C-alpha cells in the first residue's frame, strides 16, 4: 500500500492528521505539486483526478479524494473512530465536515487559486486547465469571514465541531483555519469560541506532528 | 423523524432516490425554495446551513447535507448497502461520489446559480447573500463537457461509477446528468458509455419514482 502525498498542501494534511490520530503508518511517495507531477501521464493513469493525496492498494486499486481515503481507513481500522460511532454521530460528522470543506477550505481556495501566480491556468483541481477569475477571488474573500463567524457560533454550544467528540470535522476545520493564513486571513478576535477550540485542537500530538 | 424536502431540486432528489432504493419511508415537510422558506428564522435555527434536504431526528438532532443524511441512514439501515460493503468499496464510493459532486453537480450549479434570474443574490447556498458572477457561469459552462467526457471514460471499464456495483456515486452522477438539462446541456453523442449507463440506471424503479 502506498500513499501519494505532498504534506505542504492542505488537502494531504487532512489525511495525514487523520492517519496520525489513528496511529496508522503507510509508505509514502511524494508527488511534487510545484513541479506539477500530479499531471504526469503515469500518475494520471492511476489517478484521473490528478490530485494528492491518493492511496494505492496492494491489488492496484487507486482511491483518491480525502473522503475516499478516510472512509477506506475508517472501515479497515475502526478502532479510534474519527467518522462517528452511532448513526447520529456519523451523520453529524459528514454534515459538518462537508460544511467546513465547502464554506472554509473551498472559499479560501477561491481566493488562493484565483490569485496565486503559479496557478495562472490551474484555477480548478484536476486534469483540465481553467483560467483564474478575479470575480471568484473577490467572492472567496467575502466568504471567509462568514466561515469564521458561522463556525464560531457552532462552537458556542459544542466542544467540537460535530458535537461532544473529536472527529474528521475538526481536522478539516483546523486545516481550513491554517490554510486561511495563506491568503492573510485569520480567525477574528471576536470569534472567541473558534479561537479557543483552535488553540485546543492545535495541541493534539497528531496535529503537531503534521504542521 | 422528519425529512425537510423540496423534491423538484437536484440535491433533495439525491436523498429521495437513495431512500427509495433502500425502501425507507420517512415523514416529509416541504420547504418551498421558490418562496425562500429555507431562510425563515425558525428553519434556520434548526438548520444554520439553510438548505434542503435536512433530517430532524426524534431527539431534536438536525442533520443536513446529503452526505450527513445518507451516512445516517446507511448506518441505521445497513441492509441494501449503497455506500459500499468492504473498505475498498467504501473508499471508491466516496471518491467517485465526491468527483461527481465537484465536477458534475457543482459545475452545473456554477452556470445555473450565476445566470438564473431568481438567484440574483443567491449565488452560494447558505445563509449569506453573494452576487452572481458572469466569469463563474462561463467557467462552469466550460467544465460541464469535461465532466461528461471524464465519466464516459470511467464507464468504459466499469459497469457502475464506483465499480461493478450500484451505489450513491451513480445516484449523484445521474442527478447531475439530469440537472445539466436545466442549463440546456446533455450527454454528448460521443459519450456512448455514459449514455448506455444513463439509460440503464434511469430504468431503476427508485429513479422512476423520483423523476
Same domain, yes or no, for B140 and B196? yes
Nearest to B91 among A69, A98, A146 (CB): A69
Q: Are residues B108 and B141 in the same domain?
A: yes
A188 within some domain: yes
How many angstroms away from the CA of A181 is the closest CA of chain B?
A: 23
Asked if the structure places residue B194 within a domain, the reply is yes
Number of domains in chain A: 2
- Burial status of residue A135 (CB atoms within 10 A of its CB: 0-12, 13-18, 19 or more): buried
pLDDT at B78: 96
Residue A108 CB contacts under 8 Å (≥ 6 apart), including other chains: A140, A144, A176, A179, A180, A182, A183, A185
Residue B81 lies in a domain: no
Q: Encode pLDDT of A122-132 as tens digits.
A: 999 999 999 99
DSSP letters for B101-164: IIIIIHHHHHHHHHH-GGGTTBSSSSSS-B---HHHHHHHHHHHHHHHHHHHHHTTS-SBTTBS
Reduced to 3 states (helix: H, G, I; strand: E, B; else coil), residue A4 is strand
| Same domain, yes or no: B22 and B50 | yes
- β-pair type (B2-5, B62-64): unpaired
3-state helix, strand, coil in chain A (%, to 5): 55, 10, 35
Query: Can you list the residues of chain B whose pLDDT is less than 50?
Result: none
Q: B168 in a domain, yes or no?
A: yes
In this structure, the answer to whether residues A47 and A147 fall within a common structural domain is: no
Domain boundary among B76, B111, B141: B76
pLDDT for A162-195, tens place per residue? 999 999 999 999 999 999 999 999 999 999 999 9
What is the pLDDT of chain B when averaged over all its residues? 97
Regarding whether B111 and B50 lie in a shared domain, the answer is: no
- From A137's Cα to the closest Cα of chain B, the distance in A is 10
Could you tell me the pLDDT band of residue A6, with boundaries at 50, 70 and 90? very high
pLDDT of residue A48: 94
CATH of the domain at B191: 1.20.1050.10
Range of the domain at B50: 2-76
Q: How many residues does chain A have?
A: 211
> B43 near B50, Cβ under 8 Å?
yes
How confident is the model at residue A154, as a pLDDT? 98
A103 shares its domain with A53: no
Query: Within a 13 Å sphere around the CA of B49, how many CA atoms are in the beta-carbon half?
Result: 23
The reply to whether B106 and B50 lie within a common domain is no
CATH number of the domain encompassing residue A62: 3.40.30.10
CB atoms within 10 A of CB B178: 16
Tens digit of each residue's pLDDT (9 = 90 or more) over A122-159: 999 999 999 999 999 999 999 999 999 999 999 999 99
Residues B172 and B96 in one domain: yes
Q: Which of B32, B52, B76 is the last residue of a domain?
A: B76
Question: Which residues on chain B are in Cβ contact (under 8 Å) with A70?
Answer: 94
Residue B199 lies in a domain: yes
Q: Which of B37, B53, B76 is the last residue before a domain boundary?
A: B76
Residue B29: phi and psi, rounded to 5, are -125, 125
B64, B158: one domain: no
**Secondary-structure percent of chain B, ordered helix, strand, coil, rounded to 5:** 55, 10, 35
Q: What is the pLDDT of residues A50-84, one digit of tens each?
A: 999 999 999 999 999 999 999 999 999 999 999 99
Shared domain check, A104 and A61: no
Burial of B58 (0-12, 13-18, 19+ CB in 10 A): exposed
What per-residue confidence (pLDDT) applies to B185? 98
Domain-located, residue A81: no
- How far apart are alpha carbons A189 and B72 in whole angstroms? 35
Cα separation of B207 and B17, whole Å? 6
- Chain A contacts in chain B segment 22-41 (CB below 8 A): none
Same domain as A103, residue A61: no
Predicted confidence at residue B131, as pLDDT, reads 93
Which of 86-145 (B) contact A at CB < 8 A? 86-88, 90-99, 103, 123-124, 126-128, 130-131, 133-136, 139, 142-143
Mean predicted confidence (pLDDT) in A202-209: 98
Residues paired with residue B63 on neighbouring β-strands, in sequence order = B55
Chain A: residue nearest B142 by CA?
A130
Q: List, in sequence order, every beta strand (DSSP E) within chain A.
A: 2-5, 27-30, 54-56, 62-64
Determine the pLDDT at residue A31.
96
Within this chain, do residues A55 and A103 fall inside the same structural domain, yes or no?
no
Look at residue A82 and tell me if it is in a domain.
no
Amino acid at each position: 500500500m502506498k500513499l501519494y502525498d505532498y504534506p505542504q498542501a492542505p488537502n494531504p494534511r487532512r489525511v495525514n492528521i487523520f492517519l496520525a490520530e489513528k496511529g496508522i503508518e503507510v509508505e509514502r511517495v511524494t508527488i511534487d505539486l510545484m513541479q506539477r507531477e500530479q499531471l504526469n501521464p503515469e500518475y494520471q493513469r492511476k489517478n484521473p483526478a490528478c490530485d494528492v493525496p491518493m492511496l494505492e492498494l496492494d491489488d492496484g486499486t487507486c482511491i483518491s479524494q480525502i473522503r475516499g481515503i478516510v472512509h477506506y481507513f475508517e472501515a479497515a481500522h475502526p478502532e479510534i473512530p474519527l467518522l462517528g460511532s452511532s448513526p447520529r454521530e456519523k451523520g453529524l460528522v459528514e454534515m459538518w465536515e462537508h460544511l467546513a470543506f465547502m464554506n472554509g477550505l473551498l472559499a479560501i481556495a477561491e481566493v488562493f487559486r484565483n490569485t496565486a501566480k503559479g496557478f495562472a491556468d490551474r484555477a480548478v483541481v484536476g486534469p483540465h486547465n481553467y483560467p483564474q477569475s478575479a470575480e471568484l477571488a473577490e467572492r472567496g474573500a467575502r466568504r471567509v469571514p462568514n466561515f469564521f463567524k458561522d463556525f464560531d457560533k457552532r462552537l458556542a454550544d459544542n466542544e467540537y465541531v460535530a458535537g461532544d467528540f473529536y472527529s474528521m470535522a475538526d481536522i478539516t476545520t483546523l486545516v481550513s483555519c491554517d490554510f486561511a493564513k495563506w491568503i492573510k486571513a485569520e480567525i477574528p478576535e471576536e470569534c472567541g469560541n473558534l479561537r479557543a477550540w483552535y488553540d485546543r485542537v492545535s495541541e493534539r500530538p497528531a496535529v503537531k506532528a503534521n504542521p
